[in-house]
A and B are shown apart, each in its own frame.
Chain A
Amino acid sequence: MRLLVIIPAFNEQQALGGLLDELKALPGPTGVEVEVVVVDDGSADRTPEVARGHGARLLRLRRNLGIGGAVQAGLQLAEREGFDFAVQIDGDGQHPPNELHRLLEAARGPSAPDLVIGTRYRDNPSGFRSTRLRRLGSAWLRFLLRAVTHLAVSDPTSGFRLYGARALRMFADTYPYDFPEPEALAMARASRLRIAEVPIKMRERQGGRSSISGYKSVYYMFKVTVAVVLAYVRTRRRARGDKGRDAVG
């Protein structure tokens, strides 16, 4: 069984080295061959050199595509090279690599979900508390996803995710760009992927700056609200079209 760890990174030279060291020091899960790829999203700092220096595979995007484009590049690599699973971990070190086994256990469990999300809000073993604005935004997105897609998740913006084979195939082909996490959930739901949540510990970012702050938060909420509705409708229509074609064929 092969697992690809995808680290999208934009100007993350401070945190990336430590994260890669932690990943390297992890005891390998039994029967799982783990590889790590850093997707450098057009960084202006030494992110690519740090990735190479720590022995990770490196995808260098020649221009900044945003988190969605970077994650999709990693998923495309995983799909082409026949990986069974891919895990997305933020390059800022907020997701402790030693929590990775929880996602993997859930994916290999009896319900075998296609998409496993690490949640910082359910059970919350680390006592991690994000800012009030983020919690408010998260509450709105929870409500939106439940209202539009009937999906109940506690952490719709979590970037700590494991993709199974079906999710890999789907998202390698189509993945949302700007602020993709909630939109990707709507797409997964519309495609009837099995989604599970696992409580994980989170920590403060180990370096760099958040890309969503100030006026961008307002834009983020507006854009994501529209995007979630559109992504759900579009993916449902596409899925119905595929089913219709299969029936005719």
Chain B
Amino acid sequence: MQSAEAYWRLSDGVGNWVFAAVCVMIALVLMRLILRERITLQGSMSYLLFLGVLGGMVLFPDVTGWVAHALGFSTLANFFFCTAIAALTILHLRALVTLSHVHLRSIALTQELAIVQERLDRVAAQLARAERASSSRATEPPEHAT
């Protein structure tokens, strides 16, 4: 029979620290990507928050256990997985919204670029024609006054 205290533990003490270390490592990778401007800070804040919450949950199992119990979870691991899945779903949805927005903007900009480019090409062609006409006029021999 498990004691109530053991029941609320996520794993033994070492396991908790290992998981927290993994969270820190992922956070470090994330920070590195931000520093190299591969991802933006604004876009990754929610992800950093998610990692922070997960890390906090494993480092402070008593508080986590109390919250889980208050929410009606009988096993801490279930609470942990539910929280992680819910957070990942929200993060994915948020990424999807951002991606769709960027996709639509990219389509609009591609169309705009094509229209502006076409206009520029036409103006350049008109200028070239006008230049050719003026240079051919300049090289023509002057008419004799009658």
| Contact surface of A with B, Cβ cutoff 8 Å | 37, 39, 57-63, 65, 69, 72-73, 76-77, 80, 177
Contact = CB atoms under 8 A, between A and B. Distances in A.
B74 interface: no
A73 B111 contact: yes
A148 B62 CA distance: 56
B111 A61 contact: yes
A170 B113 CA distance: 21
A238 to B, nearest CB: 16
Interface string B112-128: 01110110011000000
B118 A69 contact: no
B71 interface: no
Contacts of A65: 107, 110-111
A61 B112 CA distance: 9
Contact of A76 (B115, B121, B122): B115
Instruction: Give chain B's interface secondary structure class.
Output: helix
B122 to A, nearest CB: 8
B114 A59 contact: yes
Interface in B82-131: 107, 110-111, 113-115, 117-118, 121-122
A59 B122 CA distance: 11
B102 to A, nearest CB: 13
Interface of B: 107, 110-111, 113-115, 117-118, 121-122
Contact of B118 (A58, A62, A63, A177): A58
A62 B107 CA distance: 10
A58 B113 CA distance: 12
Interface core residue of B110, B113, B121 (most chain A CB under 10 Å): B110
Contact of B114 (A62, A80, A177): A62
A244 to B, nearest CB: 25
A61 B93 CA distance: 30
Contacts of B107: 65, 69, 177
A58 B118 CA distance: 7
A61 B121 CA distance: 14
A61 B115 contact: no
A57 B118 CA distance: 8
Nearest to B103: A177
28 contacts: A37-B118, A57-B118, A57-B122, A58-B121, A59-B114, A59-B115, A59-B118, A60-B114, A60-B118, A61-B110, A61-B111, A61-B114, A62-B110, A63-B110, A65-B107, A65-B110, A65-B111, A69-B107, A69-B111, A72-B111, A73-B110, A73-B111, A73-B115, A76-B111, A77-B115, A77-B118, A80-B115, A177-B107
A78 to B, nearest CB: 11
Contact of A69 (B110, B113, B115, B122): B110
A191 B83 CA distance: 44
B46 to A, nearest CB: 28
B34 to A, nearest CB: 27
Contact of B117 (A37, A39, A60, A72): A60
Contacts of B114: 39, 59-62, 73
B84 to A, nearest CB: 30
Contacts of B111: 61, 65, 69, 72-73, 76
Interface core residue of B111, B117, B121 (most chain A CB under 10 Å): B111
Nearest to A66: B107
